Amino acid sequence: MGLRMKILSGFAILTMMLFLAGVWSIYELRSVGSSVQKMLDDNYKSINASKMMIEALEMQNSAVLLLLLGKWKEGRSIIQEGEDLFRMGFDIAKNNLTIPGEQSYVKAIETRYETYKTMWSQPIVGTKREADLNWYFEETHRAFLSTKAAVSELMVLNDKNMYQTASELKAKSHRATMPGIVAILCALVFTMGFNYFVNLYVVSPIIRITKGIHKFVETGKAENIEVETKDELADLVSSIQDMIARLMR
Amino acid sequence: MRLSVVLRYTGLVLLVDATFLFTAAVISLNDGDSALLPLLYAALVAALFGVFPIIFVPSTTSITNKEGFIIVVFGWLLSCAVGLLPYVLWGGEFNLTNSWFESVSGFTTTGASILTNVEALPRGLLFWRSATHWIGGTGIIIFVLSVLPSMGKAGMILYRTEMSPLAAENFLFRTRRTIHILVSIYVGLTVLETAILLICGLNLFDAVTHAFGTIATGGFSTKNTSVAHFDSLSVEIVIMVFMILSGIHFGVLFAAVSGKLEEVWNSPILKFYLVALLIGVGLVAVKVHGCIYHDWGEAIRYASFQVISLGTSTGFATADSSIWPPFAQLLLISFTLQCACAGSTSGGIKTDRIVIFWKAVVRRIKSIQHPSAVITVKLNNASLPDDVVEATVLFIALYLGITFLTTLVLGFLGVDPLTAFSGSAANIGNVGPGFGGVGSFGNYSSIPALGKWALTASMLLGRLEIFSIMVLLMPRSWE
């Protein structure tokens, strides 16, 4: 291989190592970005929706207690407010099914909420249920806790998934930084090796050739210059030796 | 010494590494796992670093002893350095120290791991992990030389350094043909074991990786509970047979394949190796029967596997020997120190040296009884020169000294004595698992970082037969 190609290959290898590490780092960084977005879209949205549903359920539970006390207007107003909030949270959760099996959790919430809803959707004030604490504890409160538990399960599922995504993020950020570090270290080692080879197979022969020519000029005696490689420098030595041979004739 | 020549041939070693890294990357690509880019980049780095010296340095057929020697040691160290790249790039449990530990453990065929959950690794990385055993076992240098016809006499020079000096003494290999024979036996055994494991019901990936681990006497498994995961007597028997075969001098194996069975049976080293294993199995089975296993069949089954595994420096496991009675543990530690025959891929002091050592002890006793008598140490009806006997005894002393020193380092770092001693012995012997915290189902993750570096140093010392590394560190070697 010619000298030009050898030197070019050195630079090409160096460039390739750095370029590929750079491309990989960019790819991983972009992946980190999309993971963050995914985490926000997939999990954080559902967690927020769950919180909304729990808040709505708490409101409805308080409202049922107000109805038991005979406060119809306040109770019904809070129940409606809770219903709107719950529906808003539920719709977000229902339209954000991103984890395998998440649909069954949402279905469970829907079923339990429907059961809970039947408890307070019928009249309470002015009926036999008014001030019936036994009915409240035996049926309504249980249905409330059951629905709340279903919502909590959805929140835990998303929490776990968010933790997993965060762990993946850590791995991705490691993979985004390591290629750069490795490439820099490899490039340093490679540069040292490249420098050694250039020195050994390019600079040193040139120095030997120069010394040989100087010696010939000073003494008129030809000196055998050895070059290990079969490249442009070997051709140069051969040409110089031919020239010296002609001059000496 | 011509550094450029050293760099050229270590470059060839890196190209072998690159080939296996690319293969691992293909597995990752097929699985679509997260190890693809780390493996691919590491393969590329290895290939580029390997190709560059070949471009610059002209081919040479004459390599001096010193150059051959440096190529071997340098090749090992560079392979270990390149081998850590996929681990450190992938991340997970692999920081720099852990990656270096895993890589050195692989290439030296030690099989000690820092991984708490092996099965969490992508299959591409698991393949690379096992491949490091196989490359290390075959002797990267031997492998490279066997496929490169341009080396001329250099092959033999490298071979002498790579293998135990004792193996070079008693094995009639004088040409490059030697290396072809060694590699043929090595590849043949690997293929045969893979095929039999497939018949036994393992899938291709597990069969190949476990064959790599067995023939190289390495011990990296793809399962958290090693071979115990398969819970198959046939798999255990196959692995045991191949562990025993891999612990035998390759020259003896070649003699056996060539039909020269008389030579095989006349080998005192082989006799000692097999009888020692047999006695070991018997004694351990007696001790574990009753307290651990109530059935004799089970006692023999598990005792056999553990004794053969440690006695050949492999390190696979089918039982947690850390909970076995103290006598059984001590016996297993003695096998960890001794290991198998020189000229195999096994580590440890080696049975050859143990035999010579005891013969030297007998000679000493005889010379005390008969001060005027000229008594020589004989092996296979041939007298051994005194310098061989002296070197053997010196090696054993140095080996035990380094083991003790590593134990002290680990003890200083707060590691308990059993873990420290058995871990040190298991690492310098390239065995892998020790006892205590680093038992057969345990790992080295709890060892402090400095301790891990000390253990990797002892792995390299053990693999390169101590003196090679020591000579490399002498400034005169580089003149």
Alpha carbon of B466 to those of B207, B345, B375, B403: distances in Å? 33, 16, 29, 12
Residues of chain B with C-beta less than 8 angstroms from the C-beta of A228: 58
Positive or negative, the CA dihedral A92, A96, A100, A104 is positive
pLDDT at position B12: 86
3-state secondary structure of B383: strand
Return the number of other C-beta atoms located less than 10 Å from residue A110's C-beta.
Answer: 15
Contact call for A174 and B7, based on CB within 8 A:
no
Contact call for A17 and B48, based on CB within 8 A:
yes
In a mutagenesis test of the B interface, which of A23, A197, A226, A227 is the best target, namely the one with the most B β-carbons within 10 Å? A197
Q: Where are the domains of chain B?
A: 1-162
Measure the CA–CA gap between B265 and A79, rounded to whole angstroms: 93
CA angle B10, B42, A10 (to 5 degrees): 60
pLDDT at position B55: 83
Kindly identify which residue of chain A lies nearest to residue B85, measuring between CA atoms.
A182
CB B312 within 8 A of CB B244: yes
A24 vs B3, B37, B51: nearest CB: B37
For tokens 């028997």, the residue is B237
| Surface-to-core class of residue B95, CB atoms within 10 Å of its CB (0-12 exposed, 13-18 middle, 19+ buried) | middle
In a mutagenesis test of the A interface, which of B2, B41, B98, B117 is the best target, namely the one with the most A β-carbons within 10 Å? B41
Minimum distance, in Å, between the CA of residue B365 and any CA atom of chain A: 56
Residues 43-72, chain A: which have Cβ within 8 Å of B?
none
One digit per residue, the tens of pLDDT, for chain B of length 479 reads: 788 888 888 888 899 999 999 999 999 999 998 899 999 999 999 998 998 888 888 777 677 767 777 777 788 889 999 999 999 999 888 999 999 999 999 999 999 999 999 999 999 999 999 999 999 987 744 643 343 333 433 333 333 433 444 444 443 344 466 677 778 888 999 999 999 999 999 999 999 999 999 999 999 999 999 999 999 999 999 999 999 999 988 778 877 888 877 777 888 888 999 999 999 999 999 999 988 999 999 999 999 999 999 999 999 999 999 899 999 999 999 999 988 888 788 889 989 889 989 999 999 999 999 988 888 888 777 788 888 888 889 889 999 999 999 999 999 999 999 999 999 999 999 999 999 889 988 899 999 999 999 999 999 988 887 776 776 777 776 66
CB B452 within 8 A of CB B97: yes
pLDDT at position B479: 65
Residues of chain A with C-beta less than 8 angstroms from the C-beta of B44: 16-17, 20
Contact call for B90 and A179, based on CB within 8 A:
no
Kindly identify which residue of chain B lies nearest to residue A173, measuring between CA atoms.
B91
In a mutagenesis test of the B interface, which of A20, A199, A227 is the best target, namely the one with the most B β-carbons within 10 Å? A20
CB B244 within 8 A of CB B308: yes
Per-position b or e across B405-419, b if 16+ CB within 10 A of its CB: ebbebbbeeebeebb
pLDDT digits (tens, 9 = 90+) for B43-58: 999 998 998 888 888 7
Contact call for A186 and B45, based on CB within 8 A:
yes
Residues of chain B with C-beta less than 8 angstroms from the C-beta of A182: 41, 45, 85, 88-89
Residue of B187, B224, B218, B221 lying closest to B207 (CA atoms): B221
Measure the CA–CA gap between B115 and B442, rounded to whole angstroms: 9
Q: Which residues of chain A have pLDDT under 70?
A: none
Contact call for B53 and A186, based on CB within 8 A:
no
Question: Which residues of B fall below an 8 Å CB-CB distance to A?
Answer: 3-4, 7, 34, 37-38, 41, 44-45, 48-49, 51-53, 55-58, 85, 88-92
Contact call for A13 and B44, based on CB within 8 A:
no
**Helices first, then strands: H and E counts in chain B:** 22, 2
CB B415 within 8 A of CB B423: yes
Minimum distance, in Å, between the CA of residue A245 and any CA atom of chain B: 28
Residue A229 touches partner B, C-beta closer than 8 Å:
yes
Minimum distance, in Å, between the CA of residue B2 and any CA atom of chain A: 11
Contact call for B44 and A20, based on CB within 8 A:
yes
Helical ranges in B174-323 per DSSP H: 177-199, 204-215, 233-246, 250-257, 261-266, 268-288, 296-311
pLDDT at position B151: 40
Measure the CA–CA gap between B208 and B194, rounded to whole angstroms: 5
DSSP conformation class of B440? T
Contact call for A171 and B92, based on CB within 8 A:
yes
In a mutagenesis test of the A interface, which of B4, B39, B48 is the best target, namely the one with the most A β-carbons within 10 Å? B48
**pTM of the complete model:** 0.81
Residue A144 touches partner B, C-beta closer than 8 Å:
no
pLDDT digits (tens, 9 = 90+) for A7-43: 888 888 888 888 888 888 888 888 888 878 877 777 8
Residues of chain A with C-beta less than 8 angstroms from the C-beta of B38: 175
3-state secondary structure of A236: helix
Beta bridge partners of B379: B382
CA atoms in the 13 A half-sphere facing the CB of A184: 5
A9 vs B3, B44, B55: nearest CB: B55
Residues of chain B with C-beta less than 8 angstroms from the C-beta of A187: none
